[in-house]
């Protein structure tokens, strides 16, 4: 935001900035994570639920912010390994059933995951000092 506000567009100029510095396929990022993980890790491939080619051309242009002076921070093994501690700390919160897709775009009907019960939100809870 700072880079674009310090270097505004010319009057009448329309600019689009893709806020990314690199892209990965799902398989590529899975391999990076699996090889960085200190324990045993495996990659499980599932059938693609979407109606699309398994491989397709994706070439998003993301040079605009770099041209304004952005110094990209690329995904590094250090960042990935730092996330393992966070994942370990909160693994008890993971609902493994929610990780797999329910919708298959090739079918005319799909099963639905039951809704989770929602907490009873009230004003007392919102202002409670011990929440």
Q: Sign of the C-alpha dihedral, residues 102, 95, 23, 44?
A: negative
User: Hey, where are the domains in the chain?
Assistant: 2-127
Residues 44-102 pLDDT 10s: 988 888 888 877 777 777 788 888 888 888 888 888 888 999 999 999 999 888 888 88
- In the block, tokens 């730092």 appear at 82
Segment of 30-34, 63-67, 104-108, 122-126 carrying the highest mean pLDDT: 30-34
Give yes or no for a contact between 114 and 108, defined as CB atoms under 8 angstroms apart: no
How far is 59 from 97, CA to CA, in rounded Å? Answer: 33
């Amino acid at each position: 935001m700072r880079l674009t506000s310090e270097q505004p567009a010319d009057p009448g100029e329309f600019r689009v900035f893709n806020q990314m510095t690199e892209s990965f396929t799902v398989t590529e990022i899975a391999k990076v994570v699996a090889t960085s993980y200190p324990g045993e890790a495996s990659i499980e491939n599932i059938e693609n639920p979407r109606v699309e080619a398994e491989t397709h051309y994706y070439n998003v242009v993301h040079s605009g912010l770099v041209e304004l002076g952005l110094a990209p921070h690329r995904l590094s093994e250090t960042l990935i390994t730092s996330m393992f501690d966070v994942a370990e700390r909160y693994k008890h919160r993971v609902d493994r059933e929610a990780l797999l897709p329910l919708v298959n775009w090739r079918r005319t009907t799909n099963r639905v995951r039951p809704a989770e019960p929602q907490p009873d939100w009230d004003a007392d809870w919102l202002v409670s000092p011990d929440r």
